[in-house]
Amino acid sequence: MSFWPLFPKSDYVKNLELHAHLNGSLSRSTLKALGCLDNTIGTYQTVETNLDDVFSLFQVAHKATRTIDNLLYATRKVIEEFADDNVIYLELRTTPRSEEGMSTEEYIETVVKAVRSVGSGKILVKLLLSLDRRRSMEKQEEVLDLIIGYKDKYPDLIKGVDLSGDPSKGAFFKQVFEKARKHGLYTAIHCAEVKNDEEVKDIIEFKPDRLGHGTFIHPQYGGSLNIWEVYKQKEIPVECCLTSNVICKTSKSYKQHHVQEWIKESLPFCLSTDDKGVFNTSLSKEFQVVQENFNLTQEELWKISKNSVEYSFASPEEKQFLIFELEQWRNKNIPNR
Ligand code: 5GP
């Protein structure tokens, strides 16, 4: 039986969310508040779809956040909703973009303003800015230069660069990420969401700070023995997003999700929501799913959260604080371990 529902909501395990896309995280109520009609959100909150459908669904959220006011409201809401789900540390990622009446710079400043305006007592928030893999190398580098400027302006807030966007299109350009690293940005790269052995090998060999999804790495899940061996030498933490993968059908089911190989071999991973709005999930639901499907104890679940502190892009002092918070929770809620 699941222990999760036995806890009142306020006692759910305190958690860290390391892989959440801003626009994919907009809840139904936020979309409605921003004027989206029921029937458009109806398809947005789809139960079963595939990667192609999901990428067209992001446009609903992008329409909703095309003004500064709406973007400010939406970002605050996303942060508050994570905090309500007992997330104490959030790394939110978003792709800087321009709209009529909002420049790319204003987009970034608005997201920064939203983060700053949410009370820091309850949740610590950091930002990763995303490069869209569908863009040319020149365009990705242009956006990176902008991000480097903002990292220098907000060094305690803007921590890293993500590579995302439709995995069946575009490319990973190593020199772009080498430049990001040279400028002190952490790197989190979506990797192996679809089978693409050559690119997967290049990314793993680059050794980003974290990998998103990591679905087609292990030979039993469409990867290859060679890639798996290279991965195991590098031990890069993987951000596992179970509900997202099952809904997009890149994983056959929760029970057949590749996270179990990371659990069996004690390899580094964290649990994440990816797009909590699109996939109608929450971080506590992701933990519940893992607990139910792989029979983990409370202590083992707690360790997943604790390990996430190490994989996060928080400062050493912030990490110490997060560990303290998690240990307090554990002493109160898992006394007989
Ligand atoms: P935004 O960056 O606009 O705040 O959030 C939505 C964007 O994140 C999407 O347009 C897409 O580029 C990226 N994204 C969201 N979920 C996924 C995912 O599962 N895989 C990849 N590769 N990109 C994603």
Check if 272 has its Cβ closer than 6 Å to any atom of ligand 1: no
In a domain, residue 332? The reply is no
The pLDDT assigned to 13 comes to: 72
Q: Which domain holds residue 40?
A: 14-327
In a domain, residue 314? The reply is yes
Q: The domain that contains 35 carries what CATH number?
A: 3.20.20.140
pLDDT confidence band for 148 (50 / 70 / 90): very high
At 197 the three-state DSSP class reads: helix
Eight-class DSSP state of 12? S
**Number of compact structural domains in the chain:** 1
Q: In a mutational test of the pocket of ligand 1, which residue from 18, 21, 77 has the highest number of ligand atoms less than 8 Å from its CB?
A: 21
In a domain, residue 333? The reply is no
Round to whole Å and give the CA distance between 139 and 252. Answer: 35
Check if 130 has its Cβ closer than 6 Å to any atom of ligand 1: yes
Tell me how far the alpha carbon of residue 181 lies from the centroid of ligand 1, in angstroms. 22
At 91 the three-state DSSP class reads: strand
Tell me how far the alpha carbon of residue 297 lies from the centroid of ligand 1, in angstroms. 32
In a domain, residue 65? The reply is yes
In a domain, residue 70? The reply is yes
How would you class 280 by CB atoms within 10 Å of its CB: exposed for 0-12, middle for 13-18, buried for 19 or more?
A: middle
Apex CA 241: angle with CA 240 and CA 244, to 5°?
155
In a domain, residue 47? The reply is yes
Active-site positions read 193
User: Which of these, 22, 209, 271, lies nearest to 125 by C-alpha position?
Assistant: 22
The answer to whether the beta carbons of residues 247 and 47 sit under 8 Å apart is: yes
* For the CA of 130, the nearest atom of ligand 1: 2
Check if 58 has its Cβ closer than 6 Å to any atom of ligand 1: yes
Round to whole Å and give the CA distance between 16 and 313. Answer: 11
User: Which of these, 118, 178, 110, 180, lies nearest to 145 by C-alpha position?
Assistant: 180
Check if 24 has its Cβ closer than 6 Å to any atom of ligand 1: yes
Task: At 69, list the tokens.
Answer: 């006011």
* Better-scored residue on pLDDT, 48 or 287: 287
* For the CA of 190, the nearest atom of ligand 1: 22
The answer to whether the beta carbons of residues 195 and 216 sit under 8 Å apart is: yes
User: Which of these, 125, 126, 129, lies nearest to 150 by C-alpha position?
Assistant: 129
Tell me how far the alpha carbon of residue 164 lies from the centroid of ligand 1, in angstroms. 6
Apex CA 166: angle with CA 164 and CA 135, to 5°?
70
Single pTM value for the model: 0.95
* For the CA of 58, the nearest atom of ligand 1: 10
Q: What is the mean pLDDT of residues 284-309?
A: 95
In a domain, residue 190? The reply is yes
Check if 250 has its Cβ closer than 6 Å to any atom of ligand 1: no
In a domain, residue 4? The reply is no
| pLDDT more than 70, % of the chain | 94
The pLDDT assigned to 43 comes to: 61
Per-residue pLDDT for 180 more than 70?
yes
Q: What is the mean pLDDT of residues 288-305?
A: 94
Residue bearing tokens 């940005």:
185
Per-residue pLDDT for 166 more than 50?
yes
Check if 94 has its Cβ closer than 6 Å to any atom of ligand 1: yes
pLDDT tens-place string over residues 230-274: 999 999 999 999 999 999 999 999 999 999 999 999 999 999 999
pLDDT confidence band for 101 (50 / 70 / 90): very high
Name the residue at shortest CA distance from atom 12 of ligand 1: 165
